[in-house]
Chains A and B, each alone.
Chain A
């Protein structure tokens, strides 16, 4: 589909992801709505939705430096940071230290292992449930809101609906010629954590109806690739691959497919336990969680088969040890499985298109894409 015939709903979603502020977010705050900024998909946004907040996943899309940071932070009433990795914990420290507008800055203690084989994850789920309960109480006390069980159930249901819709978005890439590009898909996924959820679901549902019934796109990508690693918050990163004729048909990233593979149990007697279990057990794991390599590898192998992936791109930030070290293991596994593999170590701010293009061209040779 050319740009001119993209569904209007899709265009609205792309607009929401293109910058740090967007019309949907502005409309929410203009009406007096509260916004909670949070880092990392391990923090359940359902908890915030149940309290009447708009959860906003913190990102730096389009940033070329840090000048926009102050302006970005000024629409937040609250910032919640998880203890998942060294960087996140220091974000919390610096947020406390900096003169932020946010009146409430909270550090959520997040488990960093999957538990033992003998006892399973039950003690860890219980611990995380307690931490979520503390966060819930802190929100209630600070903002004078009530996060009730029915509200939690409704929020879980709403977010599960988002996940189902997003899965359908990924399904569009199973076809030989994907109907959405990776950069568009990434933007739509980011929009999901940047605007009111009901509005997002309505727009995505509408966009999907049109995309799913649109005629097959002619042609075929030179190679179908999977990209893994931490969050890619600038769709321009995907465009470098697309410019070389490759299609990133699926991913395992923090804004991507990892977040939609499982659903939170809507029937569980205790919604907080269901959320804790989803975060600690069900969601395919980030390598900052000890013991997660085998699970992550299984997920990657399943996805490689389902999406008929020709090669895997392992990307990560220079200073991210969790992902960086996991690639020594992933490289070994990909070599054993005979899957072409490329490691891309990069800075957070996307600025190395030229160099990256050259590496992608060379990599496409190894996948047979240029043959």
Chain B
């Protein structure tokens, strides 16, 4: 049931953000210190391959590279971790987030897990961090499994990965003492299906002109569905409230409060850790609104087929290899990333697309020509920025702003 527009609280989004904060605090990630203190068995993984399994088994899980955000960049220690990694003698061009995670690992600052799950995606940097984790001496006694993800995206390839992943269940049971219950997993998967449906519905609302919300809301919705509250009714309810609030805003023809929308663009990569120094200024000085980022874009999220354990895990493989934003960007052809960007440009009525081309994304740098030509075909201006979305020292937000401003000027978009 939706409320009439008049009864909407003025600060509905502030309320949603506050609820999101509470949800995150109550999530596995938010309670990690508590688990460590109580000796609760934890599983570490190198991406969010199948969060539904951990929700169903109530086994705390953390995504190793994300710790670079949580324990370094989000607490002002990103540069220190990046520099610390460089002293370890690894790759100087590694993504700064992976550098931070690898540094935290090698310095013993990550919670020691009871089991580790690794898969050969999405990028070389991730595989390299997997290898550091697999060979980290203090964790040598931790049982770990490493799985091979196919680059092919056909049915057989999905089954190939799904069947491998299924073998992780007995290891989790043994390592954590938690019992696996197929019926419970099915319930969680059904809830997860409702969440991804809401993600998509919410995304459809964002086609509206003027844009009802900033790109960050797409990212938060993804976080709620995949990281903080995957398969949990609390997160589903939050997503529903986000949808309802935004639907009312669209119905009322309202754009973002206090912003006169003049230029619509998408920042099609990860939102920078220094977003606050860039996007508000673009809104304020140029009336330029960021509609979409990589994680806030819900390309096809395959529905989990809950018929059997095998179909569930094959669906997990499909979600990871077809739906996961980072996999689409890196572990697929350039035309997949480029095609998504073109879809956004056309369907969300973008005046321009910015390809941040994060320096850690070497695959992205090698895609410029292909993606640029796709945009030339549809006649939408396209800019490669070339910044570091985590470590602002590489290219300051002021320099990025200047590049974007000049690009909008030369493209005739400034009004």
Q: Which residues of A contact B385 (CB under 8 A)?
A: none
Residue ID in chain A nearest B122 by CB atoms: A86
A290 engages B118 (CB within 8 Å)? yes
CA A319 – CA B93 in complex, angstroms?
6
Q: Is A97 an interface residue (CB 8 A)?
A: yes
CA A130 – CA B88 in complex, angstroms?
40
Q: Is B151 an interface residue (CB 8 A)?
A: yes
Q: Is B366 an interface residue (CB 8 A)?
A: yes
Q: Is A287 an interface residue (CB 8 A)?
A: yes
Q: Is B27 an interface residue (CB 8 A)?
A: no
Pick out which of these stretches binds chain B: A104-112, A161-169, A199-207, A232-240.
Answer: A104-112
Pick out which of these stretches binds chain B: A63-71, A147-155, A321-329.
Answer: A321-329
Which of A113, A287, A292, A345 is close to B148, meaning CB atoms less than 8 Å apart? A113
A321 engages B333 (CB within 8 Å)? no
B124 engages A86 (CB within 8 Å)? yes
Interface footprint category on A? 35 or more
Q: Which residues of A contact B413 (CB under 8 A)?
A: none
CA A169 – CA B130 in complex, angstroms?
36
B134 engages A90 (CB within 8 Å)? no
CA A288 – CA B367 in complex, angstroms?
20
Q: Is A368 an interface residue (CB 8 A)?
A: no
A324 engages B150 (CB within 8 Å)? no
Q: Is B131 an interface residue (CB 8 A)?
A: yes
A326 engages B366 (CB within 8 Å)? no
B362 engages A291 (CB within 8 Å)? no
Q: Is B240 an interface residue (CB 8 A)?
A: no
Which of B130, B146, B366 is close to A116, meaning CB atoms less than 8 Å apart? B146
Distance in Å: Cβ of A152 to nearest Cβ of chain B: 23
Interface footprint category on B? 35 or more
Q: Which residues of A contact B93 (CB under 8 A)?
A: 318-319, 321, 324
B132 engages A328 (CB within 8 Å)? yes
Q: Is B120 an interface residue (CB 8 A)?
A: yes
CA A93 – CA B334 in complex, angstroms?
6
Pick out which of these stretches binds chain B: A119-127, A241-249, A267-275.
Answer: A119-127
Distance in Å: Cβ of A87 to nearest Cβ of chain B: 7
Q: Mark A189-230, 1 if CB is under 8 A from B, else 0.
A: 000000000000000000000000000000000000000000
Q: Is A27 an interface residue (CB 8 A)?
A: no
Distance in Å: Cβ of A44 to nearest Cβ of chain B: 18
CA A144 – CA B366 in complex, angstroms?
33
Q: Which residues of A contact B157 (CB under 8 A)?
A: 109
Residue ID in chain A nearest B145 by CB atoms: A116
A324 engages B131 (CB within 8 Å)? no
B125 engages A321 (CB within 8 Å)? yes
CA A124 – CA B102 in complex, angstroms?
27
Distance in Å: Cβ of A311 to nearest Cβ of chain B: 15
B152 engages A123 (CB within 8 Å)? no
Distance in Å: Cβ of B145 to nearest Cβ of chain A: 5
Q: Which residues of B contact A349 (CB under 8 A)?
A: none
CA A1 – CA B353 in complex, angstroms?
62
A124 engages B148 (CB within 8 Å)? yes
A293 engages B150 (CB within 8 Å)? no
Which of B102, B130, B370 is close to A93, meaning CB atoms less than 8 Å apart? B370
Distance in Å: Cβ of A130 to nearest Cβ of chain B: 8
Which of B120, B131, B366 is close to A87, meaning CB atoms less than 8 Å apart? B366
B164 engages A321 (CB within 8 Å)? no
Q: Is A85 an interface residue (CB 8 A)?
A: yes
Distance in Å: Cβ of B186 to nearest Cβ of chain A: 26
CA A326 – CA B132 in complex, angstroms?
8
A107 engages B92 (CB within 8 Å)? no
A93 engages B91 (CB within 8 Å)? no
Residue ID in chain B nearest A127 by CB atoms: B160
Q: Is B89 an interface residue (CB 8 A)?
A: yes
A86 engages B123 (CB within 8 Å)? yes
Residue ID in chain A nearest B130 by CB atoms: A290
B369 engages A116 (CB within 8 Å)? no
Q: Which residues of A contact B152 (CB under 8 A)?
A: 109, 131
Which of A107, A131, A324, A331 is close to B128, meaning CB atoms less than 8 Å apart? A324
Interface set of B (CB-CB < 8 Å, partner A)? 88-95, 102, 106, 118-120, 123-125, 127-132, 134-135, 145-152, 156-157, 160, 163-164, 167, 330, 333-335, 362-363, 366-367, 369-370, 373
Q: List 11 contacting pairs A-B, 8 Å CB cutoff, sorted by A.
A: A90-B334, A93-B334, A93-B367, A113-B118, A116-B145, A123-B164, A131-B152, A316-B91, A321-B124, A321-B362, A325-B131
Q: Beyond the given A288-B124, A321-B125, could you list 12 further A-B residue pairs with CB under 8 A, ordered by the A residue number?
A: A93-B370, A97-B369, A114-B146, A127-B148, A287-B131, A290-B146, A294-B135, A321-B128, A324-B90, A329-B132, A331-B88, A343-B89
